[in-house]
Copies of this chain bind each other. A is one copy, B any other.
């Protein structure tokens, strides 16, 4: 009655602490199922059944195994498990964000992580920094780790670098839609949000508007611009009377641009900022010029303390928790075999009035 080459008596008496093979590290190697089986005096498969909550084990045996596992502080090795298991899932997904330090994406991460954690799934997170080369490298790194799925904010112009059979790998794009690949996407309703901002400013009586934005090469920026200009059209405002200042890559460049805009000819009476850093730059410029209560401002993207500004900043708020939650649901569905046609899920934006967007235009006289 030998068990894996060791009698039961031996199993109880002789504990051979395998020395860790780690360089410079002395210590006892972590126990394996064999060790638990030996201690519980059962076969290894019975341990496997107990650990995995499979049926077909008597309660007595179960308890014996659980006690042995506890005594040895046994922890299943999921890597080994997933190597053999049907489906071969690793119960992990890869998350690629512009930066985990960015509050907007941090909130997405949080919501997504919570949903996935409740399904026993782990999240591997990495920051891209709008670096297309990194995007490709990190996707490959995640593939080597055999993640069950990928959730990413694409920065590369195209996701054509993905292996042809990428359809095998569940993927959900967030914030931006993919290019050159067909996959689910979860995005804000950028066009409608920007349109709401335009409509709001127009409803306050403004006609001399300015549209300020950052990068123009990303989809979200184009959608916001389209929503804004479409609304101008609906309101019968000629785009010629609107200042479009784009390509503002930093808070500082936005600040300078606004200073020039407002001290130049035909200054606008209301500003829409399509990007959060641009919004910060606009706020600075208005404050410096003492125009914060004289020029209206609506910003795309909410932020902490927006209501503490003078005046409070009216924004088009995105809902990162919502985006994260939907992305989590989609990736889970795909992992579980959902084969429906890839689809883009649109999360609505919300116009939040706080004062800056309700600054009226100056009286028409003179």
Contact = CB atoms under 8 A, between A and B. Distances in A.
Contacts of A22: 87-88, 168, 337
Contacts of A6: none
Given A101-B106, A164-B73, A287-B308, A78 B145 contact: yes
Interface in A95-114: 99-103, 106-107, 109-110, 113-114
Interface string A286-311: 01000000000000000111001110
A30 to B, nearest CB: 8
Nearest to A324: B101
Interface in A73-95: 73, 75-80, 82-83, 86-88, 90, 92
Nearest to A17: B165
A315 to B, nearest CB: 13
A11 interface: no
Contacts of A125: 100, 109, 113, 123-125
Interface stretch (A33-41, A136-144, A352-360): A136-144
A27 B144 contact: no
Interface in A245-296: 280, 283-284, 287
Copies in the complex: 2
A339 interface: yes
* Interface size class of chain A, counting residues whose CB lies under 8 Å from the partner chain: 35 or more
Given A100-B109, A168-B25, A80 B83 contact: yes
Interface string A334-347: 00110100000000
Nearest to A24: B337
Nearest to A309: B308
Given A88-B21, A106-B103, A75 B143 contact: yes
A257 B23 CA distance: 55
Contact of A101 (B76, B99, B110): B110
B78 A146 contact: yes
A28 interface: yes
Contact of A83 (B25, B79, B164): B79
B114 A127 contact: yes
B337 A308 contact: no
A92 B124 contact: yes
Contact of A27 (B87, B141, B165): B165
B90 A79 contact: yes
Given A73-B163, A99-B110, 8 more contacts: A21-B87, A27-B165, A75-B143, A80-B83, A122-B141, A122-B145, A305-B305, A308-B309
In order of increasing CB-CB distance, the 3 nearest A-B pairs are A24-B337, A101-B110, A27-B168
